[in-house]
Structure 1
């Protein structure tokens, strides 16, 4: 327990020998040191996750996360340890304001990757929607780049339309022939039952139409098969181009994409926006807590001992300065005396 206490003293930037002489101050600096330590720990976790999304490597994430966490820990420790309790409240706040601004910036930087992790499921859903949109846009652009496919499909449709028209004409003649045979009266039939002159004429017309239809189908089928082969070749080329783009779309889940997804979520949902703000404010509160503790806590025995220690150093420095100056002056006088320096005659 004592080692843990001294470790948190170190984290708070306090001078342990003086703090041991102020037992009433120990708990305050343990709390400050614990806040600084856990802020650095959260910074390491946050940076580790952020860098994992960038490098996709656990070891890179651990390494850079530890470096970032140690840097934030050192900065927080410096900010807290450099704040001194004075008898002038305005002077203390003036000294604290730039440190508070810097602490808020650090809190925002630390909180963002953790916000991304907290809302990971929602962000993944947004990324999937974005990927679907990107796939659709890529396919549309490729269609514009392979416009020949549409032209070939249009030619196929034209050939099929001609075959369909010939089929409709053959079916019409078949209907008239059947009406003529069975004596059904219509505009184009006589209404007499049996195979008469009109029925034979219509049979000849039907046979000719069927023959033309068969020839047209055979000729157009060859052309359609040729067009299908061309379409398949161009479709394969288009698919190959899309396959080149597909990995980039699948890999659209980096840090920038997730930040963009988080922004979209906060714009679409007021609840998400409020949750995002409160999480960020939580980290701001944690990051600025040691500074506010220093500001609002009264001046204690540790501050008096620290001032006394500094005063002793200043006094000792002044004494040594006077001694050095006196010794220097004495050596100069002795040097001049040894040279017997006299003014030169005019």
Structure 2
């Protein structure tokens, strides 16, 4: 075997060993116990590998979900997936490490049940995006059909909405008002005045009767009508007089109409100022109403377009998958089987730990129990020792305190005695000094009296 081959073998062995050490850390294994039971090392490494595998599935699932639901760019989605995978790894590791082994299987199952339920919930959350990814082609087609159905329904709703059905009528009213404001007062407005209309109607009636009288007069002259006698005579004169009377009435009405129209035009022009103000206000109101209605309509269309653009999220895809399952039982069965399989994979660590807890204790578990008992004994011994040391120290401190108190009392008694002796000496000296002063005073008095007696 060459040196290079040996180095490669050593490198592979070191790599495998480092990976195994990391997996043991993930599994929460006790390395000191594994040194006593090396055969149990493989189980703990396998447990760590299972935890890492479920975390990897969670990472892939979360990355796909972030890209699908929130439209994250793939690098950011992967970063989010890594964070989610670490969270799932931590939760699974806690579930595995905190699962106890009790003396009875019923107690073990009771303690494991909440952890299994939590693992199932986590597995369902993690496996849902993976299930959607497997059926992405069928789901994409169904999502597009759902979007088309929603678009048709929205278009019908928009067309039938009473708020927007009046827009054409409002636009026509706006066009009429704008044309009226642009033209001002015209001859057509004058012709529509009630007085002008009445006078024009009377004039048209007179003109019609005048034309009829003119025809009757001509027929009387040529003998084609009336008396049937051609030429001029009394009948012709009577018809001429009727025609001339109607001609005078026609001319009079024509003059009245010609005089009335300027008056009406002037009156309408005078009223046009206020009419223009009213029409402009009505035009502004209609334009505001149309603008607001169109803005609401555009806002609804924009909101619908945005909803359609975001209609490929997880919820829409789940709905599409359910619809596909209703029409295709085979796909529904495959969906639920895949979902159950993915969920079981995510629940594998806690299920594996629960099955180990129900089985007879392994060598590793027995050694771990002994190690824990030793640790507990050491802790109890240390605590007992610390308690005894504290008790001895307390007794020593109490004795020292009593000795200090006795010495202090003795010293205080001695000091009090010394103070009393000093005070007694001072008092004694004061009394003696007072006595001497009194005796000296008495001697001086006796001397004075002796001198007086001698003088006398």
> Which residue of structure 1 aligns with residue 220 of structure 2?
none
User: Whose Rg is larger?
Assistant: 2
Following superposition of structure 1 onto structure 2, how do residues 198-217 of structure 1 map, counting pairs within 5 Å? none
Match of residue 276, structure 1, among 335, 350, 354: 335
Displacement of 1:87:
4.5
Out of 16, 33, 45, the residue aligned to residue 18 of structure 1 is 33
Name the SS of the counterpart of 2:110 in structure 1: helix
What's the offset of the Cα at 1:274?
1.4
CA distance in 2, matches of 1:306, 1:322: 24
Candidates 30, 34, 52, aligned match of 1:37:
52
Query: Which one of the candidate residues 154, 159, 165 is aligned to 1:143?
Result: 159
Match status 1:336 vs 2:354? no
Q: Verify the 8 A CA contact 1:55 1:61 in the aligned structure 2.
A: no
Aligned to 2:77: 61
Structure 1 residue runs without a partner (length 5+): 153-232
How far off is 1:242 after superposition? 7.6
Deviation at 1:76, TM superposition (A): 0.7
Confirm whether residue 51 of structure 1 aligns to residue 66 of structure 2: yes
Backbone CA RMSD of aligned residues: 2.8
1:313 to 375, 383, 395: 375
C-alpha deviations, 1:53-105, integer Å up to 9, x for none?
22212233112211111000111111112224454323322221111111111
Is the CA contact 2:58–2:126 (under 8 Å) kept in the aligned structure 1?
yes
Tell me if 1:249 matches 2:308.
yes
Rounded to whole Å, the distance in 1 between the matches of 2:32 and 2:384 is: 29
Change beyond 3 A, Cα 1:246–1:336? closer
Which residue of structure 2 aligns with residue 210 of structure 1?
none
| CA deviation string 1:285-327 (max 9, x = no partner) | 2233333333334311211221122112111111111111111
What TM-score do the two structures reach when normalised by structure 2?
0.52
Query: Following the alignment from structure 1 to structure 2, what is the Cα–Cα distance between the partners of residues 22 and 310?
Result: 15
Q: Tell me the distance in 1 between the aligned counterparts of 2:156 and 2:126.
A: 40
Q: Contact 1:85 / 1:303 at 8 angstroms: preserved in 2?
A: no
Does the 8 A contact of 1:35 with 1:286 survive in 2? no
Number of equivalent positions: 261
Using a 3 Å threshold, how does the CA distance of structure 1 residues 19 and 259 change in structure 2: closer, same or farther? same
Asked if 1 retains the 8 angstrom alpha-carbon contact of 2:92 and 2:350, the reply is no
* 1:98 equivalenced with 2:157 (yes/no): no
**Is the alpha carbon distance of 1:54 and 1:294 closer, same or farther for their aligned partners in structure 2, counting shifts above 3 Å?**
closer
User: 1:9 corresponds to which residue?
Assistant: 24
Cα pair 1:265 1:272 within 8 Å, conserved? yes
CA distance in structure 1 between the partners assigned to 2:391 and 2:335 by the alignment: 69
1:28 aligns with 2:43: yes
Structure 2, gaps ≥5 residues long: 1-15, 171-289, 406-456
1:104-119 map, 5 Å:
104-119=120-135
1:73 alignment partner, one of 83, 89, 94: 89
